[in-house]
Amino acid sequence: MKLLLKILFVIFLAAFITGLVMKSYGYDAGNIIVGISVLFMAFILMPVFIFYRYQKGKYKKYVLDTKKKNPFKLDKDQLI
């Protein structure tokens, strides 16, 4: 999964840079390539990244528990 994220990021970055270079040379397709690469990042790369980061459940220590008296106070055993 980590390799997939790296490959997708490199593809996104290459397309984005290609679009910017084409735009600077005056090609109209540069705007289209930049737009498609941004859509690619928003709808493909970000969901894959979010799934990868949250699949192990490490986010639970950052979620506030409303049942506590003071949800912003952390115990020393929660800092691990």
Q: What is the pLDDT of residue 70?
A: 65
8 A C-beta contact, residue 8 and residue 48: yes
Mean pLDDT of 9-37: 95
Distances, alpha carbon 11 to alpha carbons 4, 36, 49, in Å: 11, 12, 15
Tokens of 69: 């008296």
Residue 35 has pLDDT above 90, yes or no: yes
Domain that includes residue 17, residue range: 2-79
Supply φ then ψ for residue 25, to 5 degrees: -85, -5
Radius of gyration of the chain (CA): 20
More confident: 65 or 31: 31
Number of domains present in the structure of the chain: 1
Give the C-alpha separation, 32 to 19, whole Å: 8
